[in-house]
């Protein structure tokens, strides 16, 4: 998205001004447009998801859910709720620490929103194309818990404090298996750039990392469990256990401040589902690569490329919404866990499972069974599918453009072409982008 606006919004604006002095305005406008779009993804997304939650819970509990507001299907129900929240009195308890009490919802919301900075919606459609996007999203989502802790602590209520402490214990524990799960796709792709990871899975759905090997298939479910826990959703919603803690950390909140917590929650649900879609389900690359077959996805023609990207973005949003729906399904199906069960799930099941899968993937990269059909074997004859090793991080492409490689193909230390299986395995086990660096290093040594 960044490049899109750089090329097609800033440049015409600058041309219109016809003075380099006016570039600064173009950058402001471009930044504002991206902010507004992303803010709407979070805010309108929350409106839609709350409506969806009501409908899903209604369906699961054998009732209809909202039916009247806004004509059919009750699709304006959330808006009506929002108006109600706006008109509610904004209370601050007497015992509260007013500064922290007021700041807490914004900390939560800002952390959740900041994750969208690095979340690509389609090939190149991202606000900030950063090479450590996965890491950035995890780090920023980890800050979200701070809003909850501050809210619980500053409310001056025992229910809030209990809720916050549970949340802190839970989220801090679940970051360990979550990090391990996220490392596995990074390990396979050799990059933390989400766009590169997404592009590496282009092609038929067999190229999705979910089907890369049995271990990634398992680890997705571990990831989904940990992600559900880290965004504080049922069955892990101990921080707001209604039956025990009134409403947990947001007991004392009302009105718009309260709704900020919910926008943050639904925002991060979408973000972790989107992350899952990119890491395991090919992101914007569909089960059937129609736009790759048409040649639009790699087209030189800007319009065709953007049409392909638009459908890619729709594809990505569909996958992420599916993930959110799955979370809702889990919420209305499973009972809430006790705190000791939450910790048991994390430390006795999720961490060992993720660790075993991690080792399994490492071994798989070295000794994958020859009969396993995935992209490695489809390389030759399934050419319309992008091959993983042809996708590289932007900076690698830039180096290649500016100083074309002296030699082609993989060579070993002594200089002849790497034909020995050991060398190929060694380079194959590294991420694809790393290979170029290794080749350059060894080329330079000689």
* Residues contributing to the site for another protein (CB under 8 A): 20-24, 27, 95, 97, 99-100, 103, 107, 130-132, 135-136, 138-140, 142-143, 145-146, 149-150, 152-154, 156, 161, 164-165, 168-169, 171-172, 175, 190-192, 393-395, 398-399, 402, 430-431, 433-434, 437-438, 440-441, 443-445
Distance, CA of 99 to CA of 155 (rounded, Å):
11
Q: How far is the CB of 25 from another protein (least distance, A)?
A: 9
In sequence order, the β-bridge partners of residue 411 are 417
Which residue's structure tokens are 């507001």? 69
Q: Which is nearer to another protein, 204 or 241 (CB)?
A: 241
Q: How far is the CB of 207 from another protein (least distance, A)?
A: 22
- Least distance from another protein to the Cβ atom of residue 152, Å: 8
Residues 6+ apart with CB under 8 A from 168: 145, 148, 149
Other residues' Cβ atoms within 10 Å of the Cβ of residue 208: 24
Instruction: State which residue, 162 or 284, has the beta carbon closest to another protein.
Output: 162
Minimum CB distance to another protein smaller for 244 or for 442: 442
In this complex, which beta carbon is closest to another protein, that of residue 308 or of residue 427? 427
Q: Locate the DSSP E strands across 117-173.
A: none
Residue 163's alpha-carbon distances to 42, 90, 151, 373, in angstroms, are 25, 21, 10, 48
- In a 3-state reduction of DSSP, which class is residue 411? strand
CB closer to another protein, 76 vs 165: 165
- How would you class 336 by CB atoms within 10 Å of its CB: exposed for 0-12, middle for 13-18, buried for 19 or more? middle
Q: How far is the CB of 81 from another protein (least distance, A)?
A: 30
Q: In whole angstroms, how close is the CB of 408 to another protein at the nearest point?
A: 18
- Would you call 125 helix, strand, or coil by DSSP? strand
Least distance from another protein to the Cβ atom of residue 145, Å: 6
Which CB sits closer to another protein, 56 or 107? 107
**Judged by CB, which is closer to another protein: 31, or 44?**
31
For another protein, the closer CB: 80 or 410:
410
- Least spacing, CB of residue 415 vs another protein, in Å: 15
Q: Which residue lies nearer to another protein by CB, 131 or 411?
A: 131
Q: Do residues 306 and 210 make contact, with C-beta atoms less than 8 angstroms apart?
A: no
Q: Is 373 in contact with 203 (CB distance < 8 Å)?
A: no
Q: Give CA angle at 281 (276, 284), nearest 5°.
A: 100
Q: Where are the alpha helices (DSSP H) in 334-367?
A: 339-344, 351-366
Choose between 151 and 297: whose C-beta lies nearer to another protein.
Answer: 151
Provide, rounded to whole angstroms, the least separation between the CB of residue 248 and another protein.
Answer: 14
Give helix 133-154 / helix 98-114 axis angle, nearest 10°: 160
What is the C-alpha separation between 239 and 231, in angstroms, rounded? 11
Which residue(s) pair with 125 in the sheet?
122
Residue appearing with tokens 């800033």: 10
Measured distance CA(432)–CA(440) in Å, rounded: 13
> Is the distance from CB of 113 to CB of 38 less than 8 angstroms?
yes
Distance CA 355, CA 360 (A): 8
Report the nearest approach of another protein to the CB of residue 360 (Å): 19
Q: Is 417 helix (H, G, I), strand (E, B) or coil?
A: strand
**Residue 97 beta carbon to another protein: minimum distance, rounded to whole angstroms:** 6
- Contact of 368 with 198, CB cutoff 8 Å: no
């Amino acid at each position: 998205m960044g490049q899109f606006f750089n090329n097609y919004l800033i440049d015409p604006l600058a041309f219109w001004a016809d003075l380099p002095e006016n570039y600064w305005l173009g950058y402001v406008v471009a930044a504002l447009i991206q902010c507004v779009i992303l803010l709407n993804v979070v805010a309108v997304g929350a409106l839609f998801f709350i409506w969806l939650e009501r409908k899903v819970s209604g369906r699961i509990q054998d009732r209809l859910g909202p039916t009247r507001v806004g004509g059919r299907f009750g699709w304006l129900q959330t808006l009506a709720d929002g108006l109600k929240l706006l008109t509610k009195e904004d209370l601050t308890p007497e015992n509260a620490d007013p500064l922290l009490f007021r700041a807490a919802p914004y900390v939560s919301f800002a952390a959740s929103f900041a994750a969208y900075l690095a979340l690509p919606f389609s090939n190149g459609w991202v606000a900030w194309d950063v090479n450590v996007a996965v890491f950035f999203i995890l780090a920023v989502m980890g800050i979200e818990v701070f809003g909850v802790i501050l809210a619980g602590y500053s409310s001056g209520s025992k229910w809030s404090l209990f809720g916050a402490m549970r949340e802190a214990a839970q989220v801090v524990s679940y970051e360990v298996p979550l990090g391990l799960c996220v490392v596995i796709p990074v390990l396979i792709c050799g990059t933390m750039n989400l766009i590169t990871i997404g592009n590496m899975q282009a092609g038929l759905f067999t190229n999705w990392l979910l089907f890369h090997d049995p271990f990634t298939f398992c680890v997705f479910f571990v990831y989904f469990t940990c992600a559900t826990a880290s965004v504080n959703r049922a069955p892990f919603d101990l921080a707001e256990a209604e039956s025990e803690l009134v409403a947990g950390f947001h007991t004392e909140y009302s009105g718009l401040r309260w709704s900020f917590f919910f926008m943050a929650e639904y925002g991060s649900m979408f973000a972790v589902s989107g992350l899952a879609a990119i890491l395991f389900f090919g992101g914007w690359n569909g089960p059937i690569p129609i736009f790759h077959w048409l040649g639009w996805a790699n087209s030189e023609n800007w319009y065709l490329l953007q049409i392909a990207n638009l459908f890619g973005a729709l594809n990505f949003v569909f996958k992420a919404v599916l993930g959110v729906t799955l979370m809702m399904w889990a919420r209305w199906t499973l009972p809430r866990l006790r705190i000791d069960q939450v910790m048991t799930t994390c430390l006795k099941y999720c961490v060992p499972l993720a660790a075993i899968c991690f080792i399994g993937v490492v071994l798989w990269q070295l000794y994958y069974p020859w009969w396993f059909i995935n992209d490695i074997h489809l390389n030759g004859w399934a050419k319309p599918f992008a091959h993983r090793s042809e996708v590289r991080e932007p900076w690698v492409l830039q180096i290649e453009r500016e100083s074309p490689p002296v030699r082609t193909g993989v060579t070993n230390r002594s200089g002849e072409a790497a034909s020995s299986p050991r060398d190929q395995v060694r380079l194959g086990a590294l991420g694809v982008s790393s290979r170029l660096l290794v080749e350059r290093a060894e080329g330079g040594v000689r």
